[in-house]
Amino acid sequence: MFENTLEYAKKCDATDPLASFRNNFFIPTNQAGEELVYLCGNSLGLQPKNTSEYIRLELEDWANLGVEGHTEAKHPWLPYHEFLTVSMAKIVGAKPSEVVIMNTLTTNLHLMMVSFYQPSASRYKIVIESDAFPSDKYAVESQLKFHGFDPEDGLILWAPREGEDLCRFEDLQAIMAEQGDEIALLMIGSTNYYSGQSFPLKKIVDLGHDHGCMVGFDLAHGVGNIAPNLHESGADFAVWCTYKYLNSGPGSLGGCFVHERHANNNTLKRFAGWWGHNKQTRFNMRHEFDNIPGAEGWQLSNPPILSMAAIRASLGVFEEAGLSNLREKSIKLTGYLEFLIDKLDDDRIVIITPRNAEERGCQLSIQVLAADKSLHTKLTNAGVISDWREPDVIRVAPVPLYNSFEDVYKFSVRLKEVLQ
């Protein structure tokens, strides 16, 4: 199917219906002005070329209108987050009422756990995958401590078996069979940051709900990369960032999903803020808190418009490209990367990411046995921007919006050179 030649890679790019979207992004260059092979969208996505224009318009309205920009700007600031909702809902597979852009990822995770982690003396444990992103682990450990539980007892790690790199669903089933009546929450990363393994969200939700648990997901490495179909999955909540595959800029706002069955549940505990209050009476400062139904009701403060402008710029590109089209290209592009790595025929290399395209996004985690970070430094010096994770893994993510088949081919050539 694939061929290990530059000519083949260029042929794939010539027939790629999404190839022109690369022109919508700034590609980093070296000092000689040559484009780098940027395969680090799983850490920070590239900047769309129209982002500065979207932000400039808001700066212009601020300069010309001052406070009146809240209602009189070209895109009024009061409802600005609503301009993002429909596009964001399509990407995560949700109803618009189930999605809101607000805060940052770990802040949103804590807000969700205020509502959906309600431990009792007998049901208090939390399950996460063993190599979850550290921020998630810190967050759930701190929630356990906040409620008076010892993480050594209350935190259950869903781990790969000895000698393996990937989590098995049947092992999660075994955990639930043994301790399910003591578990309050399953909080899983939809796509593991280290291995690149994407988990079966609906199966996890059904399993958790069968045992009376709440179920939430961190989509940081999944949103804009896989199709999580959150509404259909039945997840109670999900959180994500927008600066990786959603290309909204470093430290930009995150997103939140709350399933519609919780939309009007006023008995859920929550940390409230005025932006989650009834829009009709929000500015009558003497009303008691009246939360907005749906995900918007978890908002705290009026949002940073400049960050949302950058998100709106990127979501416009996603609307034009279509997530299903991007996913189709991603499967082929990552498959080509996998093929080329295999063709290196180097016994030191192990791809720890699942080989099944349905169990991964666009990231491949490449273990290089007996290597250290000097290998990554050599790759960087060879014009490749990738990501190193201790002790010996290079994370590479060919993003279908702006990466090409030629990028992938060049990476394989340069990896081979530095390995020699």
The per-residue pLDDT for 414 is: 97
**Chain segment 245-279, per-residue pLDDT in tens:** 999 999 999 999 999 999 999 899 999 999 999 99
Residue 246's contacts (CB-CB under 8 Å, 6 or more residues apart) are 45, 91, 223, 224, 311, 314, 315, 318
Helix segments in 166-270, DSSP class H: 169-179, 201-210, 230-233
The per-residue pLDDT for 285 is: 81
**Chain segment 324-342, per-residue pLDDT in tens:** 999 999 999 999 999 999 9
CATH code of domain 6-47+322-419: 3.90.1150.10
pLDDT at 154 exceeding the cut of 90:
yes
**Chain segment 338-391, per-residue pLDDT in tens:** 999 999 999 999 999 999 999 999 999 999 998 999 999 999 999 999 999 999
Residues 239-251 as b or e (16 or more Cβ within 10 Å = b): bbbbbbbbbbbee
pTM > 0.75: yes or no: yes
CATH 3.90.1150.10 domain span(s) along the chain: 6-47+322-419
The per-residue pLDDT for 411 is: 98
**Chain segment 100-148, per-residue pLDDT in tens:** 999 999 999 999 999 999 999 999 999 999 999 999 999 999 999 999 9
Q: Which fold has domain 79-319?
A: Aspartate Aminotransferase; domain 2 (3.40.640)
SS (H, E, C) 73-122: CCCCCCCCCHHHHHHHHHHHCCCHHHEEEECCHHHHHHHHHHHHCCCCCC
pLDDT level of residue 1 (50, 70, 90 thresholds): confident
Answer positive or negative: Cα dihedral of 415, 247, 324, 189.
positive
pLDDT at 229 exceeding the cut of 90:
yes
pLDDT level of residue 286 (50, 70, 90 thresholds): confident
Give the mean model confidence (pLDDT) for residues 210-230: 97
Three-state SS at 412: helix
pLDDT level of residue 53 (50, 70, 90 thresholds): very high
pLDDT level of residue 200 (50, 70, 90 thresholds): very high
pLDDT level of residue 39 (50, 70, 90 thresholds): very high
CATH 3.40.640.10 domain span(s) along the chain: 79-319
